[in-house]
Amino acid sequence: MDLLDALDARSGLVCVVGAGGKKTALYTLADRAAEAGLRSVVTATVRIPIFDEQVSNVVTTEDPVAALAATDEYPLGVVPERDGETRYRGYDTAVVDELARSDVADVLLTKADGARTREFKAPGNEEPQLPESTDTVLPIASVHAVGEPLSEETVHRPERVATITGLSEGEQITPADVASVVASPDGGLKGVPEGATAIPVLNKVDDEELAGVGRDIARGILDRADVPRVVLTSLVADNPVVDVIE
């Protein structure tokens, strides 16, 4: 299956949360959408690392609707301003709602939480920052977390993962643990707006052994949550969709 179709990312407001490939998902989807002739836009409701090299252009503006109406460069990034040397600030969710309701983009790809480059996470009190008009939420986790100890080296907010799974610090993460967090209303499905579709993504499935791990996690998610499918990906590959589990 094509990545855009697998992740319902040909149109609407698509928000990416979780850990283990969030930014790669944003930029890969933006490129694929632009190649398909779609007006693809990358933005954020939280801080996002500088991504000028991943899109055609980044516009810093407090009026993203006007900025997009005046361009034909895609994929395009829009953010309000820089936040230091290495990041941009994200928009308030109401601004992204306004942008989504306008007709200036076909697909609006939005980073809606942070993970500090870890493989796996559970959200904090103020996360995720999902606009009300979100159409699709993509909770991402890396299959590389399986077999690793529950620690800050691998997991962002390990104490919250522990609360959901019952794991203790240092205990080995299992496929069932990843499934529990991704499928939890306190984890990957936290704050999904009414009417939005959540499609979990298990990333870094780079060989057949990891594909087996991913399928185990996917079956666990489907047992625990009402989601249409779980998509296994290797987002850095030419053909990023490894499998679709329904």
Question: For the chain, what are the domain ranges?
Answer: 3-38+108-245
CA distance 135 to 106: 12
End-to-end distance of the chain based on CA atoms, in angstroms? 13
The CATH architecture that domain 3-38+108-245 belongs to is 3-Layer(aba) Sandwich (3.40)
Bond into 240 cis (ω within 30): no
Q: Which two tokens stand for residue 165?
A: 């799974």
Indicate the Cα dihedral angle 153, 158, 162, 165, nearest 10°.
Answer: -80
CA distance 66 to 125: 33
- Tell me, what's the pLDDT at 57? 96
Residue 106 CB-density burial (10 A; 0-12 exposed, 13-18 middle, 19+ buried): middle
Beta carbons of 191 and 227 less than 8 angstroms apart: no
CA distance 171 to 94: 40
The model carries a pTM of 0.97
- Tell me, what's the pLDDT at 55? 97
Beta carbons of 57 and 73 less than 8 angstroms apart: yes
CA distance 19 to 37: 29
For helices 175-183 and 158-165, give the axis angle rounded to 10 degrees: 100
Q: What is the pLDDT along the chain (246 residues), one digit of tens a residue?
A: 899 999 999 999 999 999 999 999 999 999 999 999 999 999 999 999 999 999 999 999 999 999 999 999 999 999 999 999 999 999 999 999 999 999 899 999 999 999 999 999 999 999 999 999 999 999 999 999 999 999 999 999 999 999 999 999 999 999 999 999 999 999 999 999 999 999 999 999 999 999 999 999 999 999 999 999 999 999 999 999 999 999
**Cβ contacts of 218 within 8 Å, gap of 6 or more:** 179, 200, 202, 230, 232, 243, 245
